[in-house]
Amino acid sequence: MKQLHKKFTDYQIKELITRYLEKKLARKYIQEILGIKKTRFFALVKRLKDDPENFSISYSRRIPTRKISKDIEINIVKELKLEKDLIKTKDVPIKYYNYSFIKDLLEQKYNQKVSLPTIIDRAKKNNFYFLRPKRKTHDREVLTNYPGELIQH
């Protein structure tokens, strides 16, 4: 059980651990109830012993995981604009955006690590995305009179 804070309250866990420390409950029984292993259990015991008044298992993220900084966003758009200029130039044989190249460029040039889906998402939001043309269906008819002979029309 990795997310202990979602299943139990601070008070419940504090109560179980204090009963363990008073030797009223066995460690294995508490571990089974909480769904944790020995290492995690003793880490909780240590935290409770260190600061019993402020003991808490609640968890809150310090930094949101789904957001990127404005600097990275600006650099992605800047590189996408450069790529768009290359695509528009008829002398250069580039037809589509190379998002992997932009990802590598951001890492090398700006020391900013960004995932490929993030770059593609920002490209779609800022109209730097071309839909791939649909492939034409194969409509050739092949006639054969005997095995090994192929005549295409």
Q: Which pLDDT score, from 0 to 100, does residue 1 have? A: 44
Q: Which pLDDT score, from 0 to 100, does residue 152 have? A: 60
Q: What is the pLDDT along the chain (153 residues), one digit of tens a residue?
A: 468 888 999 999 999 999 999 999 999 999 999 999 999 999 999 999 999 999 998 877 777 778 889 999 999 999 999 999 998 888 888 888 999 999 999 999 999 999 999 999 999 999 988 877 788 887 777 667 777 666 665
Terminal C-alpha separation, the chain? 65
Q: Which pLDDT score, from 0 to 100, does residue 153 have? A: 52
Q: CA angle, 14 as apex, 8 and 19 as ends, to 5°?
A: 115
CA gyration radius for the chain?
30
Neighbours of 89 (CB within 10 A): 10
Q: Which pLDDT score, from 0 to 100, does residue 25 have? A: 93
CA-CA distance, 3 to 151, in Å (whole number)? 66
Q: Which pLDDT score, from 0 to 100, does residue 145 have? A: 73
